[in-house]
Amino acid sequence: SYDLTQPPSVSVFPGQTASITCSGQTLGEKFVSWYQQRPGQSPVMVLYQDNKRPSGIPERFSGSNSGNTATLTISETQGMDEADYYCQAWDSSTAALVFGGGTKLTVL
Amino acid sequence: EVQLVESGGDLIQPGGALRLSCAASGFTVNSNYMTWVRQAPGKGLEWISIIYSGGAPYYADSVKGRFSISRDTSLNTLYLQMAGLRAEDTAVYYCARVIRSGQSNWYFDLWGRGTLVTVSP
């Protein structure tokens, strides 16, 4: 099976930049999406196709994907960004949609 | 309004069966790739099943042989039939729409609010 690895937690001060990584074998050859899940709520997609933002997602959210690592970057982090973030990719070898384990972003 | 609404979650004994429903509005279920994703208490997201727009179903190994995904065109509803339930199946179950853009670009663009399944004696 294909595994995506994320750090369990990331902390950032308000106004600073938060970076959340997602690692997987040759991940750069796949497309990665990112989801935000606030406590008690359903996930919401914040990026797709590595770095594209859906309508309504602030420009503060950006992404990159190269080699074995994809990165979600949140600039000018705000308290409302505090949430769990999940990366996701499609594994063609198993025809499975795969999620990373999730990263809890804490805004200090 | 485009939305998904799940229902059917319940407290069920180990070994039991349950059917979850996901009513879609604002778009057509059978023209899209539709999935089920679950989240155990305090844990991460786990994809468990998908049905392609053409009707082919696929499952994660954790539920293969026990769960079955289907849809009803007339009701515009997605289903998940679960059998042989185990304690480890306890989770919030979300239905979601998947967008497939090209060979390897798959992402979840619409999620329901989820329904809770608790498997316990």
Least CA distance to B46: which residue of chain A? A99
Per-residue model confidence as pLDDT tens digits over B27-40: 999 999 999 999 99
pLDDT mean over A58-86: 97
Q: Percent of chain A at pLDDT above 70? A: 100
Q: Chain A residues with CB inside 8 Å of B35's CB?
A: 97
Q: Does the structure show a pLDDT above 90 at A55? A: yes
Task: Give every CB contact of residue B118 below 8 A, 6+ residues apart in sequence.
Answer: B9, B10, B11, B12, B90
Query: What integer best gives the mean pLDDT of chain A?
Result: 96
**Residue B100 φ then ψ, to 5°:** -110, 115
Q: Report d(CA B38, CA B85) in Å as an integer.
A: 14
Whether B108 sits inside 8 A of A88 (CB atoms) is yes
Q: How far is CA A22 from the centre of its chain?
A: 7
Query: Helix, strand or coil for residue A98?
Result: strand
Nearest-CA neighbor of B78 among B19, B29, B16, B12? B29
What average pLDDT does the structure give for chain B? 97
Would the pLDDT of A33 be above 90?
A: yes
Q: Which of 44-63 (A) contact B at CB < 8 A? A: 44-45, 48-49, 54
